[in-house]
Chain A
């Protein structure tokens, strides 16, 4: 029998049991929808993260000192060891374009004019080139040593009257002291500028490490929180431990010589070229580990410098993401399995129910393979319909999810093809045994079946 005719006949019997067929396909629909949705979200998330690494960022290496055995993301277990003098020396190295510290300032509030807004994080002390010139919508980078700040649009826009270049803002730091800054630039994006910050959108104020971090590190009234404890910094484990130590060590650093130590440093290579980046990284590590550096007094077996590019840092995040995604896809695959058992079950019921029809067909000349084809195509139709509906549902869910989390939508199209293939496969596998049972039905017994 012509396969098209089998499909036509099977389609009729599926339509003959609409509710039953619908419920049967539901298992497949849910399974495939889940797979497609999660894969779409995963791909979108990946694209979102990779899209955040702008070409200029690729020549940066992000460094911190931590126990080499520490697992986790950027800054996990980081200790403040690199001094301002170290950074100056590194910047002077041949392979290095720039080197500067990175430290969140523990703030309480920010005010502009009479208006005060509570802001506990998002004040970041760093080097001038951290905010790249081409990301500035207005104004210029801040100058080291000056009381100047660059704001992102969210930070500038949180006041009733938008802060603009030339305005003066007042930052109240955790200890209660107030310090002023002149706004010299506004960036063009609310997203974080490096993996140290995280990439989510939030109000951020960028200020030079000197004077802001130096003052804070030197302040006796540091309280019980160290300079590195903000959420904006680390997302690794061991952060608490780091916080506790920070205070001591910062205080110690102060006692030792008054030079602020940084937990996080950024070294810029001359270009994003891999060789240049590696050279800059190597030069910085070589210097920091040599006896000439201030950092070397802390570095040793328990504490080593790590320098990574954003791509390398994000790779870790992606690995975690992928693991999570595989896990969810695994669960979805189980639901597919359950769905195919559902199809097999319904097909078996259907074969029993239609024993007489099978007998009639065989009596009028249907070969075993015709009957096999009929039931198999019925199962495959159920599988394919489930796959198509599931794919549509999954794509919609993925779209809504990506829209909700604000990610660039990426449809992994090869998975759509795969889903349809899986639908066919599930149909064939689950229909095989019932169809085989139907095919070998003895016509005379089947005709007698009541």
Chain B
């Protein structure tokens, strides 16, 4: 749980570790989306990531989610350096170990809610009936039991987000990454979704949640503040699910750029 140099720590206790990670995009002049980030995410922990728009939050999530590889440094997920994995191994990791809730949902437009939720299981070879059963159950848990036959176009933004969430959880991943999972939700649904996160956390799932909302972040055990591709500071909170006292009074409420 230190900011730097945690790579040597017992990997059994570490779900994700980043070591001096850089992600640079070459567009005329180089854009440093991530500029030397080192971070340890312990197994079963609940981490929130905050930071202004463009600070590199999504980039970080893509690296941890094995979708992207760093320009420099190492990203170790579940004991494996992502950069050294083969394409197939990385895909397997995405399919089985990591559940990703995208900022832009990324639902299959022609598949309905159940099919979208069941999609990751399709690629794991789970049978059709079992898939539907599981997907239906998860949709009920996110409060969409009555929308299972709707395609994404027929769902509201918040409903789509919950479908995306259900999909991320369907394979019972050890690590759930959520990029602004509550951005489009009203207070009540937001609370439900966050309670669901709480449940998964209690069940031992490692959670990393990107958010702009202070009160969402405060459900986590610690908040990592990003700024311009660097970790500005890490804020340790008392315990998960307990808002506790704001450690940064000046930062209270919504954190905008």
Contact = CB atoms under 8 A, between A and B. Distances in A.
A370 B106 contact: no
Contact of A447 (B67, B120, B125, B167): B67
Interface residues of B, number: 28
A12 B119 CA distance: 14
A360 B152 CA distance: 14
Contacts, number: 64
Contacts of A364: 94-95, 100, 119-120, 123, 167
Nearest to A1: B123
A13 B108 CA distance: 11
B107 A1 contact: no
B62 interface: yes
A364 B102 CA distance: 11
A366 B125 contact: no
Contacts of A13: 110
A363 B106 contact: yes
B71 interface: no
A230 interface: no
Nearest to B59: A444
Nearest to A364: B120
Contacts of B153: none
B68 interface: yes
Contacts of B171: 365
A292 B107 CA distance: 98
Contacts of A362: 91, 94
B24 interface: no
A362 B68 CA distance: 12
A429 interface: no
Contact of B94 (A1, A2, A5, A363): A363
A16 B110 CA distance: 8
B101 to A, nearest CB: 11
B156 interface: no
A362 B67 CA distance: 9
Given A365-B91, A365-B171, A370 B68 contact: no
B84 interface: no
Given A360-B106, A360-B108, A444-B62, A367 B125 contact: no
Interface in A104-159: none
A365 B107 contact: no
A363 to B, nearest CB: 6
A367 B123 contact: yes
Given A364-B95, A365-B171, A366-B95, 19 more contacts: A12-B110, A356-B106, A360-B107, A360-B119, A361-B119, A361-B123, A363-B67, A364-B94, A364-B119, A364-B123, A365-B92, A365-B96, A366-B91, A367-B123, A368-B87, A443-B67, A444-B68, A447-B67, A447-B106
Closest 3 CB pairs of A and B: A365-B95, A364-B120, A365-B123
Interface of A: 1-2, 5, 9, 12-13, 16, 356-357, 359-368, 370, 443-444, 447
